Each structure stands twice: as C-alpha cells, then as structure tokens.
C-alpha cells in the first residue's frame, strides 16, 4: 500500500466511525413511518394527519413575496417551507406534514449529519408567470402545472421528484466542489427512491421500471464521461486536411495527429443518453448496496462528500467497499 492509498484508507476508517456516531445521533430524529405514510395520502379538505415531532406554522408573506408554511423537525431542527398563494393555504397545510416527514426519512439515508438543515422549499401557485425572488440561500421548486387541487402529478412531484432534488441540495451544502455527474445523479436517485418506496411504493416501482427500460434501450452508458467536456468534431475538422476528414468519417475511432488549437466555443458537455445514464448510475449504487450493504455505501458516500478531490472517489470505493468501480464507469 503506498502512502496515498494508506491515507485514503485511514480516511475511510475515520469516516466509518463518524458515520456510526452520526447514525446513532439520527436515531433520535426518526419520526413515525406509518404517520408519514398517512400524511402523504391524506384526502384534501380534511384535517391533515399529524406527524409526531413535526411542527407546522403558518407564516405571513414578506413584502412582495408569498406566505408560507414553515415545517420543522423538532428533534433535528431541520426546516422546510411550502410557499403558496393565499387562497391555497388549505392545500399547503394538507401536505406540510408529509413534506416534513419525507425530509426526515431522507436525511439519515443520504446521510446528512447537519443539525438544522434548511431543505429546499416548494411553491404552490396557479400563476404560470410566477418567478421566485432572486436568492443565493434558497432555491424554490415550483410544483409544475399546479391547478389548485392536489392531484396525481403534484403527488408524484412531492414524493418522487423532491427527495431526489433534496439530495442534490444536501450534496451542494456538504461538498465545496462539484461532483461528477454519475455520482450526483446516482446518489440522488438511490437515496430519493428509498424514501419514495416507503410512502408510495407504486411510484418507486414505476420509476425503476422506466430505468430498466432505458438501460435496455441504451446499454452503453460510459458513466465516467457523463457531463465531461469534449471537443466538437468540427473544431478538429477545420484544422485537418480533406483526406483526414474523410478518414475520420470512415474510421470514427481514428485520431488525426495534432497539434490543435481550441477556443472556448470548441467544447461541448457530454450529456448524451441521459435516460440511460440516470439508469446506469442508479444501477451502480444499487449494485454496490447489494454486494456490500447499505451502511457501507453510506460510509463511502460520506467520504466522497467530505473529500473535494474527484480523483479520490474511485480509490475511496476500493478502500471502503473493497471493490474497484472503475470498470463500471467506462
């Protein structure tokens, strides 16, 4: 073992110990799963079921803004808001405990060790021209196509989309540098679906089937290249001879000899086959969980989120999980 890998191994052991302590701390934050399920399936117009440990406050609007429901996890101090048009107060209250419960379930899954986490809020509005106030501290998610009543689309957005997006919110807060796209999305889908499977297993199953279909249709994901920059073909073509351009068309894997000069406009981000790549990224996390257990994957995720070097992600997996994941990224 060289000095670098030994250091990463030491980090992994320290993270594992910290995660154990964090998990024990979060045990006090766990709210009743059955209460969360009831809160997320409550009928509109009736008094919403309470979730023990979740406080709900009706808050007035700041000047030029919308009023909101403030939802607080009493044990962890985490908060989340539902902004709403004044006429939609009843609808917002009906799903406030559900939203608070979803974030309470999500936090130890990610895992996010922070106290007082400010989760990203949602907005209930019929106004299609609504634009949230500009803010660096808060990113509001507008429930798409909201008609004023809580329908299947709104339910899917809250219990399927928002756990995924809240995981991104956590990633950004915990890590000073940008994660590779495969880790961002694989981690968010893996953590988010665990929450969805608790409150709406039918939606989680449908999502997994969609991912399976995408993997069958486009199996070559090349996860490691996802979101990476690559040179536009025309930026090379303009610098080579007609004969070399013709050879490139005949032999796509052939690389003409350089040197080449590129400007800012000569690069594109590789986001091809996004559906297949989301599916493959989830499969990577699911596979690691099946082979090594959920706690081990959480230990690795914690180590990744605490390390600002993307080149350390694969070595951390090797040292914490005992598996070389590099072949899964090719």
Q: What confidence tens digit (pLDDT) does each residue in 154-165 have? A: 999 999 999 999
Distance CA 193, CA 161 (A): 9
Query: For 170-192, what is the mean pLDDT?
Result: 96
- Evaluate if residue 11 carries a pLDDT over 50: no
**Higher pLDDT residue, 7 or 247?**
247
Provide the 3-class DSSP secondary structure of residue 17: helix
Q: Lowest mean pLDDT: which of 130-134, 156-160, 205-209?
A: 130-134
Q: Which two tokens stand for residue 128?
A: 């299609």
Contacts of 269 (CB under 8 A, 6+ apart): 227, 228, 229, 230
Distance CA 87, CA 72 (A): 23
**Higher pLDDT residue, 15 or 319?**
319
Q: Lowest mean pLDDT: which of 2-6, 96-100, 213-217?
A: 2-6
What's the confidence (pLDDT) of residue 125? 97
Phi, psi of 141 (to 5 degrees): -105, 115
- Evaluate if residue 43 carries a pLDDT over 80: no
User: What single-letter DSSP state applies at residue 31?
Assistant: P
Residue 84 near residue 149, CB atoms below 8 Å: no
Helix (H) or strand (E) run with residue 64 in it: none
What's the confidence (pLDDT) of residue 270? 83
Residue 158 near residue 95, CB atoms below 8 Å: yes
User: H helices within 227-273, ranges in order?
Assistant: 233-237, 242-250
Q: Which two tokens stand for residue 320?
A: 């914490």
Contacts of 113 (CB under 8 A, 6+ apart): 18, 22, 25, 26, 302
User: In the chain, what percentage of residues exceed pLDDT 70?
Assistant: 89
25 band by pLDDT with thresholds 50, 70 and 90: very low
Residue 192 near residue 298, CB atoms below 8 Å: no
Q: Cα(first)–Cα(last) distance of the chain, in Å?
A: 25
Phi, psi of 227 (to 5 degrees): 80, -5
pTM for the model = 0.83
- Evaluate if residue 247 carries a pLDDT over 80: yes
CA angle 122, 277, 101 (to 5 degrees): 30
What's the confidence (pLDDT) of residue 267? 65
Query: For 118-144, what is the mean pLDDT?
Result: 94
* Highest mean pLDDT pick, 26-35, 131-140, 170-179: 170-179
What's the confidence (pLDDT) of residue 230? 66
Provide the 3-class DSSP secondary structure of residue 138: coil
Residue 293 near residue 235, CB atoms below 8 Å: no
* Residue 282: alpha-carbon gap to chain centroid: 11
Instruction: Strands of the chain (E only): list them.
Output: 54-59, 68-73, 79-84, 122-124, 141-142, 229-231, 267-269
Q: Which residue ranges make up each domain of the chain?
A: 31-220, 229-269
- Evaluate if residue 260 carries a pLDDT over 80: no
Q: Lowest mean pLDDT: which of 25-29, 38-42, 208-212, 298-302?
A: 25-29
Q: What confidence tens digit (pLDDT) does each residue in 47-83 have? A: 778 899 999 999 999 999 999 999 999 999 999 999 9
Edge-to-edge strands of the sheet including 141-142?
54-59, 68-73, 79-84, 122-124, 141-142
Residues belonging to the chain: 330
């Amino acid at each position: 073992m060289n000095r670098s890998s030994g250091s990463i191994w030491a980090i992994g052991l320290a993270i594992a110990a910290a995660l154990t302590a964090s998990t024990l701390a979060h045990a006090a934050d766990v709210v009743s799963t059955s209460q969360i399920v009831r809160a997320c399936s409550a009928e509109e117009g009736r008094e919403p079921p309470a979730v023990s440990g979740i406080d709900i406050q009706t808050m007035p609007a700041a000047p030029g803004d919308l009023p909101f429901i403030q939802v607080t996890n009493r044990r962890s101090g985490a908060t989340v808001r539902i902004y709403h048009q004044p006429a939609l107060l009843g609808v917002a209250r009906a799903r406030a405990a559900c939203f608070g419960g979803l974030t309470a379930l999500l936090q130890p899954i990610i895992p996010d060790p922070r106290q007082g986490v400010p989760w990203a809020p949602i907005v209930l509005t019929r106004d299609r021209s609504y634009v949230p106030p500009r803010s660096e501290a808060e990113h509001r998610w507008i429930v798409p196509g909201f008609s004023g009543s809580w329908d299947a689309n709104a339910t899917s957005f809250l219990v399927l989309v928002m756990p995924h997006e809240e995981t991104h919110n956590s990633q950004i807060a915990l890590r000073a540098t940008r994660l590779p796209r495969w880790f961002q999305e694989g981690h968010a889908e893996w953590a988010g679906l665990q929450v969805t499977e608790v409150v709406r297993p039918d939606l989680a199953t449908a999502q997994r089937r969609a991912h399976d279909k995408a993997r069958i249709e486009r199996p070559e994901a090349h996860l490691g290249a996802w979101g990476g920059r690559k040179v536009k073909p025309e930026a090379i073509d303009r610098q080579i001879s007609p004969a070399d351009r013709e050879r490139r068309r005949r032999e796509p894997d052939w690389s003409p000899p350089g040197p080449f000069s590129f400007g800012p406009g000569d690069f594109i981000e590789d986001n091809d086959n996004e559906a297949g790549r989301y599916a493959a990224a989830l499969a990577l996390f699911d596979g690691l969980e099946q082979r090594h257990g959920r706690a081990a994957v959480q230990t690795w995720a914690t180590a990744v989120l605490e390390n600002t070097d993307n080149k350390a992600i694969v070595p951390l997996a090797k040292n914490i999980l005992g598996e070389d994941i590099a072949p899964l990224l090719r």
